Amino acid sequence: MTTSAEVAMIHPLGPTTVEDWLAEAQPSDGSRLELMLGYLYMTPPPGGRHQYAAGELFVFLRNALRSAGRRDLHVLPSVAVRISTAFRTGVLPDVAVVNADFNHTSFAAEDLVLAVEVWSHGNTREERETKIAGYTAARVPYLWIVELPNGRPARFEGYRLGESGYRQEVFANSGETVIAPGPISVEVDTDALR
């Protein structure tokens, strides 16, 4: 897996800083404006299926955190995370678990314990690879990915950060219930992700 540093050496950094990105207003149509290696990157507004899956994962996480009494962790939908100032990268994971006070408009990478990405046909390969490389370089301990292929059931993947990158610990097709890796045990019913 390519790191942010390796990507930056292949592609020169763009002119936009993390501070510039944070000062930009998010588009009013629901599109998402992220920063990838110094370039602003806009994805189309997430559709209903995408939002539904992200919402279900938010609920699974919130309920698990409450049941475990983990008041030190907070689950948030689509918040700005400053992945790397040096490599000018800032992202909006679909769901985030942070270990910091949630009364902020953006969070440092070290505050991010779990990033959840829901991907469909609108997410390019370059976007996916850059985000995963950013999470890896930032040493985010856990990553969940939900794939929503056109006209097909959802797939769930759960990763834990190892010495050299993410290691897949869980893979589930629709219809399976799994215990996803994370700061606490979280049961994910893939049927609920539709």
User: Which pLDDT score is estimated for 10?
Assistant: 59
User: Which pLDDT score is estimated for 24?
Assistant: 94
In the numeric block, which tokens belong to residue 132? 């995963």
Residue 164 has pLDDT above 60, yes or no: yes
User: Which pLDDT score is estimated for 152?
Assistant: 83
Q: Tell me the C-alpha distance between 126 and 100, whole Å.
A: 30
3-108-64-34 Cα dihedral, nearest 10 degrees: -70
What tens digit of pLDDT does each residue of 113-160 get?
Answer: 999 999 987 788 888 998 999 999 999 999 999 999 887 888 999 999
| CA gyration radius, the chain | 16
Domains along the chain with CATH numbers? 4-193 (3.90.1570.10)
Residue 61 has pLDDT above 70, yes or no: yes
Q: Tell me the C-alpha distance between 32 and 27, whole Å.
A: 7
What tens digit of pLDDT does each residue of 89-104 get?
Answer: 999 999 999 999 999 9
Residue 8 has pLDDT above 70, yes or no: no
Q: Which of 147, 140, 141 is nearest to 172 (CA)?
A: 147
* β-strand partners of 158: 144, 170
User: Which pLDDT score is estimated for 11?
Assistant: 63
Cβ 29 vs Cβ 102: under 8 Å: no
In the structure, what pLDDT confidence band is assigned to residue 55 with cuts at 50, 70 and 90?
very high
